[in-house]
Structure 1
Amino acid sequence: MRIETRLEWRADAFAPDCEPPCSASGRRAYATRAAPIVRPPFDRGTAAMPRLSANEAAQLLGVSVPTLYAYVSRGLLRSLADGTSKRRHYDADEVRLLARRRADAKRAGKVAERTLDWGVPVLESRITQIANGTLRYRGRDAISLAMTATLEEAAALLWECPPARVHAAPGAERWFDTARWLGRLDRWRDRPPLERALALLPAAAPDVSDVSDVSDLPDAPPDGGRAAPPADAAPARHRAPPDPPDPPAPAAELDARRRDAQLDEAAMLLRVAAAALAARAPSAEPVHRQFAAAWRLTDPRDAELLRMALVLCADHELNPSTFAVRCIASTGAPLFGAIAGGLAALSGPRHGGETLRVAALLDGAAAARDLERYVAARIAAYECEPDARTRLPGFGHPLYPDGDPRATLLLDALVARASPNAALDGALSLVEAAQAALGDKPTIDFALVALERTLALPPRAAFALFAAGRVAGWIAHALEQRADGKLIRPRARYVGVDHTA
C-alpha cells in the first residue's frame, strides 16, 4: 500500500466519526505537522574516505557492530577484504546511502503512524470530501442533498449510477425465501440491531451472492464455452457438424454486464442490511419507509426525519469502519463480507457505539437536579476514562470546528417538526449547558439520539439509522477498492526485543 507523504485537499484522512481521547489538561491539538527530517550522522572526515572500518561504518549508521554484520548477511551492505589483514572494510558511499535509506524508512514509518490517528491521507478516493467544515458526496453538498434525497438516491450518487438503477434492482421476492428469513429473524428479533444484523447477514450471504452471479452470461458459460451433448445424442461420427459458437461479446459489453451485476448485489445488500437492522423482511420500499413501518410511525413528517438522518449518515470518508471495509474488499472478499466487517468495526464504543454514550448522558441529564453541575461532573469523569474520545459524548468534532453541519440540520429539522416535547426540551437544554461549559457543539451522534428520544423510537434506533445509512457508503468504498485492484497491506514497526542486535 502506497503511503502519501504529501498533503492532499485535506489532512485528516483517517477520520472516525467522533473525536479521539483528550488529555485532562484541555483540548487536543489536531493540526497536521510535517514530519521532522531525520538526517543521518555525517562525519566530514569520512567524506574523502573510500573505505570505513566496521566501527566507523556502525557509527555512521547509528547501530552496533553486530547489527552491521547482520546488514551484511542480509545483503544490505557489502564488506570488502583488506588485503593485508583479516579485517573487513566498507565502502563509505554505500554506508551513507544505507544510512539515508534507513532515515527515510524511519520517517515514513512516523508518517504512517500519524495517519492512524487523524494524520495525512493514506489512500486516494473520489467518494467523500470533508474540508472547511463542509461534507460533500461526489462533489455535491451532503447537507443540501439530505434535504430532499432518499438514501437510495444518495447511494446512486455514491455508486455513480442513475437512481432508477438502484430502484430497478431485483426485488427480495426473487432471491429470498421469505419464510426462512422470517424464521431466522424471529430468533433474533429481541436482540440489539447490531447483533441481529451480524447474525442475519451471513445467513443471507448465499442469496445476496446469487444476485451478482454472472456465470450464466452467454459469453462466459461455466464449462468454458462447450455445451455438453444430450444424453441420447448420436455418436460424434453420425452427428451433423455443430453450429458455430456465438461470437464473444465485446469487452465493453462484458464490463457493463459485470457492473450491472455488482449494482444488483449492492442494491440487494442495502435492502437486506436495512431489513436486519429494522427487524423486518427485505423490501424494495425506500429504506426510510421501512424503518417508519417497523417503528409504527404514521406521520409522514416523522418518516421525512428518518430519511434525512439516513442520508446524513451515508458516508464520512475514511473512518475506522470504512477503512476496515476497504481492507476486506481489497482481498477480493465478497461484498457482503466487507459490509459485515464494517458493522463489526462500527460496534466499538469509540466509533458507532458513541450513540450509546450519548443516550446514557441524556438519561443522567434528565434525572439531574442541577444540570450545570451534572455536565461539569461528566466532563471531569470522561476526561479520566481511557475509552473517552471527547470531553463529553456527542459534543465537539475535530473535523468541524464550527459545529457538525449534519447535527445542525437534523436538530433544526427536529425542532421545526416537533410539538412541545419533554425529551426534545431536555436534549436542547443539555446542548446549551454543554456549549456553556465547553464551547463545543453537538455532533451527528447527539442529533440521532435526540431524534430517537423525541419520536419515542425503540432503544438503539439511533445506531440502527447510523448503520443503515453508512452501508451505502461502505458499498461505494468497497466498489472503489475493487476497481483499484490493489491489496491494502500496511507494515508494522516492530518495537519488541531485537534479537538481531
Structure 2
Amino acid sequence: MTIWIDRDTALARLGVKPQTLYAYASRGRIRVDCDPVDSRRSLYNADDIGEISVRKARGRKPAAIAASSMDWGEPAIPTRLSTVHQGKLYYRGKDALALAQSATLEQVAALLWGITQPPAFTSHAATGEIDPFAVLAALAATGQPIIGCGTDHLAHDAAIIVANLALACGAASGNGALHERLALGWGCDAAASDRIRQALVAMTDHDLNASTFAARVAASTGASLPACLLAGLCTLSGPRHGGAGEALRYLAVDARHYGLEPAIRRWLEHDRMLPGFGHNFYPDGDPRAALMLSGIMPTEEMKALADCVLALTGLHPNCDFALAAMTEALSLPKDAPFRIFLLARAVGWCAHVIEQNRDGTLIRPRGRYEGKLPV
C-alpha cells in the first residue's frame, strides 16, 4: 500500500527546508498527490522520502557508497537495457508489460540484443528434456572468448544457445515461435501458449539482478558466451532467485502440515525472505505478477497463503508466486516456473554479455576486509 504524508512530516523526515522539498518534487524524485481532504494541500510519497533519507545517511564516503551498491543501493554499472522507474519495468525505454501484451520473446531479443531482425530459436534435434546445466557446460567446454566479437556474431551464437536451452526445457523441435513450441512440448492449448508468451516477455530482463550480475562479471573477463550464461544459471538456481518457485512449493507443504500462520512464522525465523512474496523495487506489488495473474484463478491453497502472508507481513505476491499459480492453473510441468524464468532470462543475459563486451572493462570490486592484520 502506498503511504502519503503531509508537508510537515516530510520536512521532518528529510530534515530539509521547504524549498529543498519542492525541488525534489519538481525533479520527480518525490511523487506528489493532492490531499483528498483538502485539495489546496499536497501529500508526498513516503517511500520516495525514505529512499532519499537512506542515501543521505550513507553520506558520500567512498566505502559507504561502494557497500550500498551491492545491496539494492546506488547503481554501479551503466546499462541501456532495462530499468525500473516509478514502479514500472522498461526495456530500452519501452514499457515491458505493454510489450508483453503482444510481443514474442524473439522480438524482445532483437530489441535487447540490438539487432534488426528477431532471431530464430530454431532446432530440429530430437525432443527430450535434458539438464540445462549439462547443455551449457558442454558448450562452455569448447566455447571461444568473446573478446573481439561483434554484436551480430554474438547474437548468432546466442540464438543457437537459447534454442538448445529450449529443447532442454521440453520445447518441441521446429522453427515456430518459442512460446508455441514450449506449449506443444508441454501439451498445452493455444490459451496457455499465449500465457507462456506473456510470462517469457515479462521475465526477460530486470535491471542488474544477481544472475545478470554474475553473467556480466564473467563477460567482463572475456569468457565464452555459454560460460557467461552458465554463471548466470548457477546463480539463478538459488532459492532466493529463480529457485524461489520450488521453495514456494515447500512453503505450501509446510502450510498444509503446520497451518498457515505457524508455517509462515517458521520461514520468517529461518530466512528473512519469503519465497514468492515481496520485492524491494515494488513495495505496492510486482506488476509482472499482476500481469501473469490477470484472468487466472489461483487454487484455494495458494490464495489462502497469499492472504495470510499479506496480513502478517504486508508483502504482496511477486513474479515467482505468479509463475507458480500460472503453472497450477494451466497444468504446466511442475518445474515450469524455473524453465520459463531460465529461458526468458537467458535472452536477457545474452543482451548483457553483448553490452559488457562492448564496454570492454573488467568488473572487479574490492572486499572490505574486517579481519585481523599482522602486527
Q: Normalized against structure 2, the TM-score is what? A: 0.79
* Cα distance, 1:433 vs structure 2: 3.0
Q: Within 5 A, what are the aligned runs for 1:391-406?
A: 392-406=274-288
Which among 148, 168, 189 is matched to residue 276 of structure 1?
168
Indicate the residue corresponding to 1:67 in structure 2: none
> Would you say the 8 A contact 2:264–2:309 is kept in 1?
no
Deviation at 1:469? 0.6
AA matched with 2:276 = G
3-state SS in 2 of match to 1:34: helix
Deviation at residue 431 of structure 1 after TM alignment: 2.5
Asked whether the equivalents of residues 424 and 450 of structure 1 are also in contact (C-alpha less than 8 Å), the reply is yes
Deviation at 1:453, TM superposition (A): 1.2
Q: Paired residue for 1:259?
A: 151
Of the three residues 183, 202, 213, the one matched with 1:312 is: 202
Aligned positions, number: 328
Structure 1 residues 36 and 198: alpha-carbon distance in aligned structure 2, compared to 1, 3 A threshold: closer
Equivalent of 1:33, from 55, 70, 73?
A: 55
What is the match of residue 225 of structure 2?
Answer: 335
Cα gap change, 1:491 to 1:213, in 2 (>3 Å): closer
| Residue identity in the other structure for 1:155 | A
Q: 2:242 aligns with which of 341, 348, 352?
A: 352
Task: Kindly provide the amino acid, as one letter, of the partner of residue 329 in structure 2.
Answer: T
- Change in Cα spacing, 1:317 to 1:213, as seen in structure 2 (3 Å) is closer
| 1:286 corresponds to which of 174, 177, 195 | 177
What corresponds to 1:101 in structure 2? none
What residue number does 1:198 align with?
Answer: 133
Mapped pair 1:485 → 2:360: yes
Mapped to 2, the partners of 1:300 and 1:311 lie a distance apart of 17
**Residue in 1 aligned with 2:89?**
135
User: Which letter does structure 1 place at the counterpart of 2:281?
Assistant: L
Distance in 2 (CA, whole Å) between partners of 1:408 and 1:481 is 31
Measure how far apart 1:491 and its partner are: 1.0
1:429 partnered with 2:304: yes
Bigger Cα Rg? 1
Q: Which residue of 1 aligns with 2:112?
A: 158
SS at match of 2:340: helix
Q: Distance in 1 between matches of 2:147 and 2:64?
A: 43
Superposed displacement of residue 208, structure 1: 7.5
Distance in 2 between residues matched to 1:269 and 1:281, nearest whole Å: 15
What secondary structure does 1:471 align onto? Answer: helix
Matched, 1:302 2:192: yes
Q: Which residue of 1 aligns with 2:264?
A: 379
The residue that corresponds to 1:20 in the other structure is: none
Q: 1:148 aligns with which of 84, 102, 110?
A: 102
Shift of 1:285: 2.6
- Would the aligned equivalents of 2:82 and 2:91 in 1 still touch at CA under 8 Å? yes
The alpha carbon displacement at 1:464 in A equals 0.8
Distance 1:413 1:268, change over 3 A: farther
Aligned-partner SS, 1:478: helix
SS at match of 2:343: helix
Q: Against the structure 1 CA distance between its residues 446 and 440, is the aligned structure 2 distance closer, same or farther, given a 3 Å change threshold?
A: same
Q: Is 1:121 matched with 2:75? A: yes
Which amino acid in the other structure matches residue 361 of structure 1?
A: L
Between the aligned partners of 1:426 and 1:152, the Cα distance in structure 2 is 35
**1:81-120 deviation line (CA, Å, top 9, x unaligned):** xxxxxxxxxxxxxxxxxxxxxxx8xx31232122211111
Please state how far the C-alpha of 1:427 moved relative to its aligned partner: 2.3
User: Contact (CA 8 Å) 2:172, 2:181: kept in 1 or not?
Assistant: no
Once residues 283 and 319 of structure 1 are traced to their aligned partners in structure 2, the CA distance between those partners, rounded to angstroms, is 32
* 290 and 400 in structure 1: CA distance in 2 versus 1, 3 angstrom threshold: same
Partner Cα separation in structure 2 for residue 32 and residue 326 of structure 1: 27
Name the aligned partner's letter for residue 138 of structure 2.
Answer: A
Contact conserved, 1:201 with 1:276, CA < 8 A, in 2? no
Following TM superposition, where does structure 1 have runs of at least 4 consecutive aligned residues deviating by more than 4 angstroms? Answer: 205-210, 280-283
- AA paired with 2:234? A
**Could you say what secondary structure the match of 1:32 adopts?**
helix
Is the CA contact 2:215–2:353 (under 8 Å) kept in the aligned structure 1?
yes
The residue identity in structure 1 corresponding to 2:346 is: V
Does the aligned pair in 2 maintain the 1:150–1:307 contact within 8 Å? yes
> Given the two structures, how large is their TM-score scaled by the length of structure 1?
0.60
Distance 1:34 1:492, change over 3 A: same
**What RMSD, in angstroms, separates the aligned Cα atoms of the two structures?**
2.9
Give the conservation status (yes or no) of the 8 Å contact 2:58–2:65: no
Query: Aligned partner of 1:112: which letter?
Result: A
Q: Distance in 2 between matches of 1:408 and 1:497?
A: 49
Instruction: Classify 1:208/1:36 alpha carbon distance in 2 versus 1 (closer, same or farther; 3 Å).
Output: closer
1:383 Cα deviation after fit: 2.0
Q: Are the equivalent residues in 2 in contact too, given 1:271–1:282 (CA < 8 A)?
A: no
* 1: CA distance, partners of 2:58 / 2:299: 49
Aligned residues of 1:335 and 1:478 also touching (Cα < 8 A): yes
Residue 270 (structure 1) shift:
1.7
CA contact (8 A) 1:155 1:472 kept: yes
* Distance apart, 1:284 and its partner CA: 3.1
Residue type matched to 2:109 in 1?
A
Distance 1:472 1:307 in 2: 14
Deviations 1:265-295 (Å, cap 9, x if unpaired)? 12112212222222x5764332212221221
CA distance change for structure 1 residues 494 and 206 in 2, over 3 Å: closer, same or farther? closer
**1:272 and 1:282 in contact (8 A); partners too:** no
Question: Following TM superposition, by how much is the alpha carbon of 1:165 offset from its aligned partner in structure 2, in angstroms?
Answer: 4.0
- Is the contact between residue 88 and residue 287 of structure 2 (CA under 8 Å) also seen in structure 1? yes
